[in-house]
Each structure stands twice: as structure tokens, then as C-alpha cells.
Chain A
């Protein structure tokens, strides 16, 4: 079992004819992802990596009976690409693109409340169910199939924590990247909910970072609704207020909200142990199992 994607997930790649799109389509297919089509306006009828390209996501979804779409579209056009994915007959859209204007994402967020399609990202590494399927840019070789779910706002931090888990023989059900932007589709609570109802996920790792209050909200959710144990990690303890630490969402506001301390405290209060190092997170997970 897994959440959101498995070996049967039929995947469209938006932006498949671009450099990034083409490269990662090949990488995904090598990993075993069932990529069935590409969607690029004006490129309908072409073929990339052995799959047909359609002019619209809707056409690709209908013709190839697709379930999900991965979006590798430049930031200026990505908001529109996400809308197109949400309006197409698929269940999941994964937006890898970094740098989408915040106001575009506010409109996307509004649209999300009206459709059944789920969005991961933007500015995320994607999602992987080890041994079955990956949608995005995660390096497949560090993951291993197992019973720990992982949800994270950051790409390379996910890899680090997964590496700490895998090297101890602790595998993963699914790893979900939710993205480092201020406004995202699926949030921590949504992902935690999915893992809580997945019978094969025996423990969950949640990697947060400074900025916003999503981790605090997630802590309240964990305390109230979760039986599956959760271990946490929060990046940005040493971040100075008012500075954007790489991610658009990673900023401690002048008024003191969004700090690592507040998030760690909220998680601890919810019974979630927070590792001081990624390796300590793996220690906590090992204790759970």
C-alpha cells in the first residue's frame, strides 16, 4: 500500500518537450513510472520518450486514461498549467516549478476548493512510492520500500532524512514533497491524514521549516486525530528574522511568527519528538517501530 501514487498510476507530463521535462520523463520511466503522455500546447502529435504528446491536458487525460500530471512548465506559464491540470479529468497534479507568482497561487488555491483534483506543490520535488512510481525529480536510488511515510516542505532535506532512514534499513511507504512556497496545494495536515488512513504506514516523518504556521496547525491535528506515531524535524533554527532563506515561504516575520522554536514547541506539546539532527529523527522512528 501507499498513498496517492502506485505502479498503476498513469502519468501525464506537462512541459515534456522542454529540457527539464524531457530529462525527468526519462528518469521517471527508468524508475518504473507509468508515463503515458505529454501535454504541450502546439506540440500535439509529436512523440517524446516513446509517449504521445497532446496539445491539451484534457485531451491527453481522455485519450490515455491518465490519473495524474507532473508539471515542468516555466514560472510565467505555470499558474495557467496548474489550472489546466485541475480542470482536466485527473486525480492528482504535481507542480515542480519554482517561482510561480504568489497571486497566481492564491487564485489556484481558490480553484482547488471547487474541484476534486489534488495538487502537490508548487516548488516541490514530487512524490515517490519506492519500487513503484515516482512523479517528480526525487533521486529514486536512495529510497526503499517499507512502512514509514514522509512529508516535507523541502527537497534535499527530504533526501537527507530518507538517507538516514534507508541506511538503517527503514524503508518508506510514500514520500510526499508539499513544497516550499507560501501558498501550496496539499498541506501537512492533508498528507498526515492520508498516512493515518494507510494501513501500511506504521510511522510518519514530518520535515518542516521556518515560516507560516502550517507546522503548528499540523501539530494540533496530530494531537487530535492521529494514532500513527509521528517524528519531526524543523529546519531554520538559526535563521535571522526578516530574511528569506532560499525558499519563498521560509521567512521568520518581524513580529516573531514562523520561528523554529514555536514549531518545535507545538510539535513537542502534541507528543511529536523533534530531532536536533536528521539522524536523531531516524532514532525516533526506530523507537516507534
Chain B
């Protein structure tokens, strides 16, 4: 789960990290009012879950009322990489002489959190990591002990942070680590952490992503979640509780188990087709889930044909088959052709149950995928 900048900043500010004065606004009038209150110049910043907002025109620096109005009109309602901007943060602009990067993330290879500091703040840190990896100082933290104060100092010195602010930056890093640890963050960062002419530091941006699997014990943060989906189908998948990712192809895919569903997508591509989605119905696969899954792919206007691939372990082939029959019998005309492949527990019984008038049954994964790709091509032609 991603927090918006304004949400993360309020968490950071509560923890004692200096942030600029700011107000959240959702209309032009609110933007102007906030800007007058804070005092020009201010930054007007789109609050959406996408990176590179500045480059995409989602952040504007304004000097007066007229510019504030223009910026608010431009940004509010704009489409930023598929997301509509509904709120902006109006924030006091900071005069700075340096921009730093300070962050903590999980190094999955090491199985440990890693603290990172760089004097090349203000740009995408992944780009810095690629182009100039030595510009980022790193320090792994023992997850059992937490971050020792010396480690925060060390990584700050290693990064070459100016001496006048080193101690303050180390303190920000320790606070970030504490938040990362207490709040089950997966990533937390301030980029840029601005250094002013008077050697004060200010967090000009804030990123905080929370481990979805830990939301059960982060109630306060979980309540901040704003469901933002790129499209209605992803929203629907969220309601049905499916792991779903929409792609741009025309062969719909339903399966059980992440690895096998990914493999089915890959095979659609391998056999010359184009996958429309990743949809994992998970274990069990009761009739209702089967019907919901079919509803998902049928509602995708890009989908021309569907491959339904189940390898039963816990999931029983006969139950899935009944679910598919029940779901498809509801239609006077089945909207897209469905190819079903059942394997594993009770697969044979399942294949016998499946109604050949409603679906095409194939025995192997390869055959099922090829058949579905063929059907999809026929529709396109």
C-alpha cells in the first residue's frame, strides 16, 4: 500500500522530521486560499501514486495568485499516467543549496533492511543507482537489533553529507528507520531532503509504502488507503479478492497459483497470442469464485477468447467443472469462447462433467493455450 505524499509527510512530521508548511486542497479556490495563507512562493503538487510527477507536469511552482489559479486549473483533474488528480498539496517553497536523498528499503537478497544516503537527491534514486552507484552510501541493518546510532552516522559520513548538517541528517535517518520498523514499511524515503542557506534541513518530498501483508496490524495507516485503480476491471478484481493484473492483449487467462498463471501468460505469448490479463483464482475455487473470474474476463472488452487452466492440488477438478457449467449456463449466448484445461485432483471427473456445448476441453496446457490463441485470432480476423 502506498501513502500519498501528504499522508507520509504528516507521519514524518509527527515523528519530528522538519517538513514545509502545507495544506491539502481539492479546488481552485482552496488552492488559492492555502497559497495566500502560506505565503508565496508555493509549490502545487499533484497527489497521485505515480513517480516522476514533476516531469509529467504534476508539480508547479507559483509566485502569485494568478499563477496559483492557473496551476490549480491545470493540475486538478489532469490525467497523470492513467490516474486522475483529485487533490493537490499546496506547500511553502524551500530555498535550498543542496538536495540530499535519505531512505530505507528491504534488501530482499540479504533479507535485511538497508539504509541509503546520497548527496545526489532530487532525482530518481533508481537512476542514480544505475548511472553512478558510488554516489549512494549504503548500510545494512540487523533486523533484530535495529539501527545503531553509529550506523546512521557512518552512512551519512560515507555519503559525504556536508559536516554542518551531518548530525541532523543522521537523526532524520534514524527516525526514518524507526518508522520503517514500527509501521511495517517496505520503502520509506525523503527525496529531496533539502539543505537551506542557513544549514537547516527540510523534507520536501515523502515516500512511504507499507507491506500489504502487515496492514492487519497497521490499522491507522490502513485507514489512509485510498483505493486507486487504473481502471474499473482492477477495481472489480479488488472487490472479488483476486490477484489481477490487466495487460493489453486479447486472450483472457484464468488459473490457479501465481507461478502457473504466469506460465500460462508466457505460453499465450509463446504461441503467438497476446495475454489480456493475469488472474489467479487461488486455492479452493468454489462455484462463486469461478463465476466471478469468468465475469472479470468477459467484462474486458479487449478479450476475444479465454483459457481457463486449473491444476488441482487442493482444488478439485469436478468442483471447478461444475462451477464453470453453472456460470456459463446463465448466459443465453456465451460472450467469448472458453477453453478449459483441468489437471490434477479429480481432473478426469471434471472433464466428464464439463459441458462441451459451452466450452472447449483440452487435456494439456500447451493444447489449451494454442486453442485459445486460435480462437482469439479468429475473432480478430
> In the complex, what residues of A have CB within 8 A of residue B247's CB?
238, 240
- From A184, which residue of chain B is reached at the shortest CB distance? B111
> In the complex, what residues of B have CB within 8 A of residue A183's CB?
106, 108, 111
CA distance A22 to B51 in the complex (A): 46
Assess whether B262 is in contact with A213, with CB atoms less than 8 Å apart.
no
Interface size class, chain B:
35 or more
Binary per-residue interface labels of chain A (114-148) against chain B in the complex, 1 for a CB within 8 Å, 0 otherwise? 00000000000100000000000111011000000
> In the complex, what residues of B have CB within 8 A of residue A111's CB?
144
CA distance A98 to B314 in the complex (A): 15
> In the complex, what residues of A have CB within 8 A of residue B144's CB?
107, 110-111
> In the complex, what residues of A have CB within 8 A of residue B263's CB?
157, 160, 233, 235, 278
Contact of A254 among B126, B211, B258, B265 (CB under 8 A): B126
Assess whether A235 is in contact with B211, with CB atoms less than 8 Å apart.
no
Question: Which has the most chain A C-beta neighbours within 10 Å: B111, B214, B268?
Answer: B111
> In the complex, what residues of A have CB within 8 A of residue B229's CB?
none
Chain-B contact segment, one of A10-18, A46-54, A57-65, A242-250: A242-250
Contact of B259 among A105, A138, A154, A213 (CB under 8 A): A154
Q: How far is the CB of B49 from chain A (nearest CB, A)?
A: 11
Assess whether A249 is in contact with B108, with CB atoms less than 8 Å apart.
yes
Assess whether A107 is in contact with B259, with CB atoms less than 8 Å apart.
no
Known A-B contacts A110-B143, A246-B280, A255-B126; A277 and B366 likewise in contact (beta carbons under 8 Å): yes
Tally of A-B Cβ pairs under 8 angstroms: 171
Check if B56 is an interface residue, CB within 8 A of chain A: no
Assess whether A110 is in contact with B142, with CB atoms less than 8 Å apart.
yes
Assess whether A156 is in contact with B311, with CB atoms less than 8 Å apart.
yes
Check if A279 is an interface residue, CB within 8 A of chain B: yes
Check if B19 is an interface residue, CB within 8 A of chain A: no
Assess whether B108 is in contact with A155, with CB atoms less than 8 Å apart.
no
Q: How far is the CB of B307 from chain A (nearest CB, A)?
A: 14
Check if A163 is an interface residue, CB within 8 A of chain B: yes
Chain A residues within 8 Å of chain B by Cβ, number:
62
Q: How far is the CB of A103 from chain B (nearest CB, A)?
A: 6
Assess whether B245 is in contact with A243, with CB atoms less than 8 Å apart.
yes
Assess whether B129 is in contact with A276, with CB atoms less than 8 Å apart.
no
Check if B38 is an interface residue, CB within 8 A of chain A: no
- From A102, which residue of chain B is reached at the shortest CB distance? B211
> In the complex, what residues of A have CB within 8 A of residue B106's CB?
102-103, 106, 182-183
Binary per-residue interface labels of chain B (190-229) against chain A in the complex, 1 for a CB within 8 Å, 0 otherwise? 0000000000000000000001111011000000000000
CA distance A107 to B143 in the complex (A): 6
Q: How far is the CB of B36 from chain A (nearest CB, A)?
A: 38
Check if B312 is an interface residue, CB within 8 A of chain A: yes
Known A-B contacts A156-B256, A212-B108; A279 and B366 likewise in contact (beta carbons under 8 Å): yes
- From B210, which residue of chain A is reached at the shortest CB distance? A101
CA distance A250 to B262 in the complex (A): 10
Check if A99 is an interface residue, CB within 8 A of chain B: yes
CA distance A149 to B146 in the complex (A): 39
Known A-B contacts A160-B311, A182-B106; A105 and B111 likewise in contact (beta carbons under 8 Å): yes
CA distance A16 to B366 in the complex (A): 38
Known A-B contacts A137-B314, A249-B108; A154 and B257 likewise in contact (beta carbons under 8 Å): yes
> In the complex, what residues of A have CB within 8 A of residue B258's CB?
154, 180, 209, 245-247, 250
Assess whether B143 is in contact with A106, with CB atoms less than 8 Å apart.
yes
User: Would you list the 3 A-B pairs with minimal beta carbon distance, nearest first?
Assistant: A154-B259, A246-B258, A156-B257
Task: Pull 7 A–B residue pairs with CB atoms less than 8 Å apart, ordered by A.
Answer: A76-B216, A110-B142, A110-B143, A154-B259, A157-B263, A233-B263, A246-B258
Contacts A101-B217, A238-B268 known; 18 new A-B pairs at CB < 8 A: A100-B213, A102-B213, A106-B106, A107-B143, A109-B111, A110-B142, A139-B345, A156-B311, A160-B343, A207-B259, A235-B263, A237-B269, A238-B266, A240-B245, A243-B278, A244-B243, A246-B243, A247-B259
Interface, chain A (partner B; CB < 8 A)? 75-76, 99-103, 105-107, 109-111, 125, 137-139, 141-142, 152-160, 163, 180, 182-183, 207, 209-210, 212-214, 217, 233, 235-240, 243-250, 253-255, 260, 276-279
